[in-house]
Structure 1
Amino acid sequence: MTTSSKAIFAIIPAAGIGSRMQSSLPKQYLTINGKAILEHTLERFLNHPQIEQVIVPLHQDDVWFEHLAVAKHPKLQAILGGQERSDSVLAGLQAIEWPQSPFVLVHDAARPCITQQDINKLIDAARKHEDGAILAMPVRDTMKRSDSNNCIAQTVDRSQLWHALTPQIFDKEQLQQAIIETQRLGINITDEASAIEALGGKVQLIGGSFDNIKVTHPQDLQIAKLFMQAQEQAL
């Protein structure tokens, strides 16, 4: 099978319980325009014509997902996630049943403004780069490294620094093996690319859109709402 004909799946880990939103709800269930952040995010992938299936790993005590309108979508499969993000992603990978190893997009549940254009760019990149690709943005601001007292210890050259975003896309078998191996070796991975990197892979950076915001703090909700409104007006 050539890379141009490989199937594409998406995994949206949603088993986390955020602590920075000052809310009793997990942040993925806070609402923007009357709809949960997670639902906005899932719809961006469910509506993409090239994606076969979307898998959402959930916390074992999740009582909110089943009430979302999107929960019964025929392309959506909810599964039990794990304690760490990598555990949830691995569970999602193991839930994929497909004759040939597909491409898998992994995306943060709290990034509801991802565009179809950025998803397309990433899929195109995966067909050209055997170790996968991620959306990222070049660092714009002056970067400082601090000492233990939060005093500036060094100004860091930003010329080759990037903010890692999601989605990130990899061959399913390659990513699954990388996560299993890094877990076995006790290597801390902060995103899917870091698992591939740890085993010597060369992951491609693809410039992403500024509006691909991750909702982490309360004020991010309003920013995400503004981005969504701008995206709708541009259609």
Structure 2
Amino acid sequence: MKAPSFSLIIPAAGVGRRMDSDIPKPYLLLKGKTVLERTLSCFRGLDSLRQVIVSTSDLYKEQTSDILNMLFDEVDTAVVDGGNRRQDSIYNAFQEVSDTIGYVAVHDAVRPFIKKSTIADCLNRSVQCGAAIIGVPVKDTIKQVNLNGFIKSTPDRSLLWQAQTPQIFRKKLYEDAFQFAEQKDVEVTDDASLFEAFGKNVRMVEGDRENFKLTYPIDFKIAELLVDTFKP
């Protein structure tokens, strides 16, 4: 069965405080190419991809347009304003999604090691369930602590997963979830949480640990080791 069309939203308006850099993380160079370019390249050539929308700050709009024009010659692209929060940046991008699109994928700008096969798996699950995300089982014991730093409980590790992206949703459900968040003033850190607050089930799809988020300087050192051998 042919995969349905989807739009890709990349929120790239964040800053690089934890990376100790004045340059936002998506625009840092990783062996000669920006992290954003490497991330977007992972989606290049997917038959079901119809549109790519990046939200970013005014300072980086022109650079972002150049990257999109270089990578996607047969896919509609757009650059929109980033917001104060991640969910605002995504919402701004969502307004540009074509009426003909059935599904929307959101992917972190600083996850440049996502495989095409994993994207396809997530899209297929989203078709079945309406909402699906990539993740991996946690490998460490997790502790819940109180405000004073004392351990309150140790959750069952077998039930805990680390959320990644892409996170892919049926467009109409996504639109309804956004409206719910606006009405109820819901603030979330990822889109799956938005669906949880909306009372909708989200399917977890196992990915791999290469698909990590570049957050700290040590992550960048690891990325430099992986970038030459990684095959999307």
Q: TM-score, normalised by structure 1?
A: 0.89
Structure 2: any 5+ residue segments left out of the alignment?
none
Mapped contact 1:144–1:156 kept (Cα < 8 A): yes
Contact kept, 8 Å, 1:46 with 1:54, in 2: the verdict is: no
Indicate the residue corresponding to 2:85 in structure 1: 84
- Fraction of identical pairs, as percent: 35
Q: Tell me the equivalent position of 2:210.
A: 211
Please state if 1:169 is matched with 2:156: no
1:48-95 CA-partner distances (Å, limit 9, x unpaired): 222111111111333662585444543232122222111111111110
Which residue, out of 29, 45, 48, partners 2:46?
48
Deviation at 1:32, TM superposition (A): 1.1
Amino acid at match of 2:106: V
| Inter-partner Cα distance in structure 1 for 2:64 and 2:11 | 16
Alpha-carbon offset, residue 173 of structure 1: 2.1
3-state SS in 1 of match to 2:36:
helix
* One-letter identity of the residue aligned with 2:26: Q
Cα pair distance change 1:68/1:104, threshold 3 Å? same
Report the residue type matching 1:53 in the other structure.
Q
Look up the match of 2:157: 158
Aligned to 1:133: 132
The residue that corresponds to 1:123 in the other structure is 123
Give the match's secondary structure for 2:22. Answer: coil
For residues 128-151 of structure 1, give each alpha carbon's deviation from its aligned partner in whole angstroms, at most 9, with x where no partner exists.
113x10001111211112233333
Using the alignment, how far apart are the partners of 1:158 and 1:164 within structure 2?
A: 14
Would the alpha carbon gap of residues 5 and 48 (structure 1) be closer, same or farther in structure 2, given more than 3 Å must change? Answer: closer
> Comparing 47-56 with 111-120, which one deviates more in the overlay?
47-56
Question: What's the C-alpha RMSD, in Å, of the aligned pairs?
Answer: 2.1
Q: Which residue of 2 aligns with 1:178?
A: 177
